[in-house]
Structure 1
Amino acid sequence: MTSTVAAIFVGFKQLGIADETDQRAIYSRVTGKPRLSLMKPPEKDAVLAELRRLGFTTVPRRANGRQQLTGRAAKKVQALWIAGWNLGVFDSRDDAALIAFVKRQTGLDHASWLHQAGDTIAVVEALKAWITREAGVDWSPTGKRDAAYLGRYGYKIAWAQWRILHPGADRIARKGFDTFVVATTGTTGMWTEISDAEWQKVMNALGPQVRAARKAKP
């Protein structure tokens, strides 16, 4: 089952539209087709958009009552948001703060950018641009002769964190940074073997230091 179809069924449940006849009436009104199996992806997206118009929200609540993003773009956008939080750019890592930020910066509602590819790209680029302005992360692709790890987002973010803590740090020498990464990940210094999950450990370890340093600035 595709994520769009799954979202449609969740939408019907949330809106209390359990009767199959009522569901098909919406299908027919929106697309002219009575069943999802007859629809192309854009038509399914149109059905989902109609359910959102009727009040369906794709932001459920966690057990603690906080908003929780779901949808095809959730993990990618959340990863960027948490990166910004670990860089001291954003004050909260909660999904509610992310939703509010994106709305202010782009005017896009989460119901759109969580599922629409074009809107997702706009949100991702807006977050990356903001993080670059505030924390100096260099997202540019690596050159052909550069080591592969230099292209990993985890490395780029961790290195930006290190430079916030150690202004003037040189990428070639990287005094202290290599030692910190090895100690945090337990690797032997083979940088190409450091996984995205291990880079996340490095970012999470540096995060409290970075946030404290930025807050301490006058």
Structure 2
Amino acid sequence: MASTIAAIHAGCRQLGIDEDGRRALYARVARKDRLTLMSSAEKDAVVDELRRLGFKPASKRRNGKRKLSGRYAAKLQALWIAAWNLGLVRDREDAALEAFVRRQTGLSAERFLRFPDDAARVIEALKSWMAREAGVEWRRASLDWLAADGAKIAWAQWKILHPEANLVVRLGFDQVALAAAARTDWLGAMTPQDWIRVMNELGKRIRAAKKHG
């Protein structure tokens, strides 16, 4: 019962339906203008109507925690996981991302996951934060393999672990990156998925270093 009511409220927020619109919707679907007057079946009918209008309930991950969904969810989730692998955040879950964005920008998930201007604002805020706090150089492309965002993040991770490292003498970086990606060729051949494996491996090292630091 409570989950159905929560879904109705979430659907109305997601679709931008105000109080008057909600009452009109309830009256049209259930012939009652308040949820407290409805039966379980009538509430379910309201949820079905919200879905028909475009409401997409948040899905769940395997661990049962809520997973954000929407046009820009994948990009934002990738940046948040990158921030986690850089050691900037302790919680990699989507709820932590949502709370962070709300604190920093005042935007709700219903907005930054659906509207391009709001999504762009959040993406740029996250990237600026990662550049400032973890040294990710988003515009650097002096070497071919650094064109990929994953490579930029991985190099920033390496610099966190090895502050003396430089791009001319990358002692150890190439070997670790290729090994993490299970490749034997060169960095320029790495795919985005390869760089995810590298970021995850270096993220483990950063978190271990922080734990024992």
Give the whole-Å Cα distance in 2 for the aligned partners of 1:58 and 1:134. Answer: 34
1:147 matched to 2:143? The reply is yes
Asked whether the equivalents of residues 112 and 122 of structure 2 are also in contact (C-alpha less than 8 Å), the reply is yes
Partner of 2:161: 165
Letter in 1 for 2:96: A
1:178 matched to which residue of 2?
A: 174
Task: Tell me the distance in 2 between the aligned counterparts of 1:197 and 1:205.
Answer: 13
Q: Which runs of 5+ in 2 are unaligned?
A: 1-9, 16-24, 30-49
Which residue of 1 is the match for residue 191 of structure 2? 195
Residue 204 of structure 1 is matched in structure 2 by 200
Shift of 1:11: 4.4
C-alpha separation between the residues in 1 aligned to 2:62 and 2:196? 25
Q: Deviations over 1:23-71 (max 9, x none)?
A: 8xxxxxxxxxxxxxxxxxxxxxxxxxxx7xxxx6753434543111000
Give the deviation of 1:184 after TM superposition.
Answer: 1.5
Using the TM superposition, give the Cα deviation of residue 209 of structure 1 relative to its aligned residue in structure 2, in angstroms.
1.1
Q: Answer yes or no: is 1:133 the counterpart of 2:142.
A: no
Shift, 1:216, TM fit = 4.5
Alpha-carbon separation, structure 1, partners of 2:78 and 2:68: 12
Give the Cα–Cα distance (whole angstroms) in 1 for the partners of residues 185 and 77 of structure 2: 28
Structure 1: gaps spanning 5 or more residues:
1-9, 24-50
SS in 2 for 1:211: helix
Q: Is the 8 A contact 1:58 1:69 kept in 2?
A: no
* TM-score, length of structure 1 as denominator length: 0.70
2:106 corresponds in structure 1 to: 107
Paired positions, count: 171
Shift of 1:91: 0.6
Partner Cα distance (1:184, 1:63) in 2: 25
Amino acid of the structure 2 residue aligned with 1:189 = D
- Whether the 8 Å contact between 1:136 and 1:160 is mirrored in structure 2 is yes
Post-superposition Cα deviations, 1:50-98, rounded to whole Å, max 9, x if no partner, equal: x7xxxx6753434543111000100000000000000000111100000
What SS does structure 1 have at the residue aligned with 2:139? coil
Aligned-residue identity in percent: 47
**Shift in Å, 1:22:** 4.2
| 1:29-108 matched pairs, under 5 angstroms | 58-62=57-61, 64-108=63-107
Distance 1:170 1:71 in 2: 39
TM-score by length of 2: 0.72
The runs of at least 4 consecutive aligned structure 1 residues that moved more than 6 Å come to none
Match of 1:166, as an amino acid? Answer: H
Mapped to 2, the partners of 1:95 and 1:129 lie a distance apart of: 19
Task: Quote the offset at 1:141 in angstroms.
Answer: 4.6
Q: Aligned to 2:205, what secondary structure does the other structure show? A: helix
Query: Structure 1 CA distance, aligned partners of 2:144 and 2:201?
Result: 23
Separation in 2, partners of 1:109, 1:96:
11
**RMSD of aligned residue pairs (Cα, Å):** 2.8
Q: Which residue of structure 2 lines up, in the alignment, with residue 30 of structure 1? A: none
Contact 1:161 1:206 in 2 (8 A): yes
